[in-house]
Amino acid sequence: MKRFKAIIQYDGTNFVGYQIQPNGRTVQEEIEKALLRMHKGEVVKIVGSGRTDTGVHAKGQVIHFDSPLAIPPIKYRKALQTFTPYDISIVSVEEVASDFHARFGTTGKEYRYFVKRSEFFDPFARHFTLHFPYELDISLMRKAANVLTGEHDFTSFCAAGSSREDKVRTIYSIDVIEEEDTLIFAFQGNGFLYNMVRILVGTLLDVGQGRLTVAQVKANLEARDRTQGAKTAPPQGLYLWEVYYQ
Amino acid sequence: MKRFKAIIQYDGTNFVGYQIQPNGRTVQEEIEKALLRMHKGEVVKIVGSGRTDTGVHAKGQVIHFDSPLAIPPIKYRKALQTFTPYDISIVSVEEVASDFHARFGTTGKEYRYFVKRSEFFDPFARHFTLHFPYELDISLMRKAANVLTGEHDFTSFCAAGSSREDKVRTIYSIDVIEEEDTLIFAFQGNGFLYNMVRILVGTLLDVGQGRLTVAQVKANLEARDRTQGAKTAPPQGLYLWEVYYQ
C-alpha cells in the first residue's frame, strides 16, 4: 500500500462543495467514484486539506489517499483524470511518505478572491468573480488589510454557527492586487475559519466604499462578536489557491 | 415607434442557440421575454444579425427592434438588462434610423475561435475554449489561412445540410494569434455559411498537426465538395465577435 498526494483544481459552480453530502454533487464523491473504478470496485477514501463551500473554486486543493496499485505517479495522474468529470482537473499525483496527511500536515493556505470592477456585467465571468461596479478606495482597503494581518481572535469574522472553539488564527499577509478591471484579494495564513475569507472580503469592500472606517474594523476585530461584522461576499469569487506543507 | 439597435453578449453554454426553437432555451426568447415585461405584455420581436448555434458565444451580437417606449437609450440599456438573465449582457442600446436592419444591413462579421494549448485540461476554460494539447506548426497554419482568404466558393467548408444556394463568400482576413498558451483564430469576412468557421478551424488544426497539407486545403477548396473537408471544431471555442454595418 502506497500513499499518494494529489493536487487538484475544480470549478465549484456545479458542486455543493468539496465534502460528501447526503444530497448534491461533491468533489470528494466524484474523485472517490473515479478511484473506485480504477480499483475495480475496491473503496478508496480520500482526505482533503479542508472543505470548500458550494460554488467555491480550487486552483490548488490537496488530497491524499492510499492505493495498492503499482502505477508510476505520472500514469496515475492520467488514469485518475480519465475517470474524473470535466469540472475537476488532476494537476499532479506523487507518492509521499506514509505519514503525510493532507489535512493535519498543512502549515498554511492561500485563498484568493476575484472582484470584477467593469461597469457592465460580464456574462463570461459570472461564475468566477464578484461583479462590483462601484467606486472603491484601494488605499483605505490596504490600511484595513494591515489591521487584519497578524495573529488575532477572528470570532467577529467567522460564520455565527461555527463550532470550533479556538478562533485564533494568524494571517501572514493580505495583498490587494489590481489587474486591469479585476481586483484580487490574496490571503495567506496558517488557517481560516468557516466563511472567514468571504467575511473579510465583505469587510474590505465595505471599507473601500466608505461604509466602514479602518478604526471600526479594528474595533470589530477586538469585539470578538460576529454580529458586528460585515456581510459575507458571495462564493463564486473565491478560490482555494494553494495549500502549504513543510 | 422608434427603432433601436442593441449590442449584446452571451455565454452560449446554457442556450440551444440564438434563434427561438420549439424546445430549449434561446437568446432570442429570453430577450423577447424581457421586452414583453418592459412593454407590459405587448409583444416586441427582435431581429438578430444571424444565428449562433448551441454552445456558441457572442461578444458583439447585434439585434434591432421597434419600441414605442419613450426612454432615453442609456436608460433603455439598464432597463433591458434588469429583465435579462445573467448569461446575457446588454452592452449598448441606441436609437437608429427606421430602415436600419440588423440582418440585411450587415457588411461583414468577425468570428473568433479560442484554442487552449495547455498540457493539462483547465476546468475553468472548458466552456470557453477547445482544449488542444498537441503540437501545432503555426507557420503552416498561416500558409493555409492565406489560401482560404479571399473570395471563394466555400461549399467544401459548410455543413452538408446547408440549403443556401450561393456559397461564394469573401474572407477579408484570417489571423492566427498566439497569446500565452491560447491560440486565437480571428476570421473577418462579408458573411459565413452554416458551420463554416468551425470547419475552417478544424481544417487549420489538421494542417497544424500535419494531417493535411496546404496543397490539400487548396485542392479541397477547389473541389467544392463538403465530403472532402475536415471535421467540425466543437462549439465552445467559437465567439461571434463583431458585426459590421456601413
Instruction: Map grid coordinates 468551425 to a residue.
Output: B198
Question: Does B88 score more than 80 pLDDT?
Answer: yes
Q: Which residues of B touch A88 (CB under 8 A)?
A: 123
pLDDT at A162: 62
Complex ipTM: 0.87
pLDDT digits (tens, 9 = 90+) for B146-193: 999 999 999 999 987 766 689 999 999 999 999 999 999 999 999 999
- The overall average pLDDT reported for chain A is 95
pLDDT digits (tens, 9 = 90+) for B13-51: 999 999 999 999 999 999 999 999 999 999 999 999 999
Q: Please state at what angle helix A73-82 crosses helix A27-38, rounded to 10 degrees.
A: 110
Q: Based on the residue annotation, tell me whether B99 is a catalytic residue of this protein.
A: no
Q: Which residues of B touch A122 (CB under 8 A)?
A: 9, 89
Asked: is A2-96 a CATH 3.30.70.580 domain? The reply is: yes
pLDDT digits (tens, 9 = 90+) for A73-103: 889 999 999 999 999 999 999 999 999 999 9
Average pLDDT on B101-120 reads 96
Phi, psi angles (nearest 5°) of residue A18: -70, -50
A77 to chain B: closest CA residue = B120
B106-245 fold: Alpha-Beta Plaits (3.30.70)
User: Which residue ranges in chain A fall short of pLDDT 50?
Assistant: none
Give the contacts of B8 (CB within 8 A, at least 6 positions apart): B27, B31, B58, B61, B62, B63, B88, B89, B90, B91
Q: Where are the domains of chain A?
A: 2-96, 108-245
Asked: is A108-245 a CATH 3.30.70.660 domain? The reply is: yes
pLDDT at A104: 97
User: Residues of B at the A interface (Cβ-Cβ below 8 Å)?
Assistant: 9-11, 57, 81, 86-91, 120-124, 126, 128
- Taking Cα atoms as reference points, which of B195, B209, B198, B212 lies closest to residue B147? B212
Q: Is the separation of the CB atoms in A113 and A36 below 8 Å?
A: no
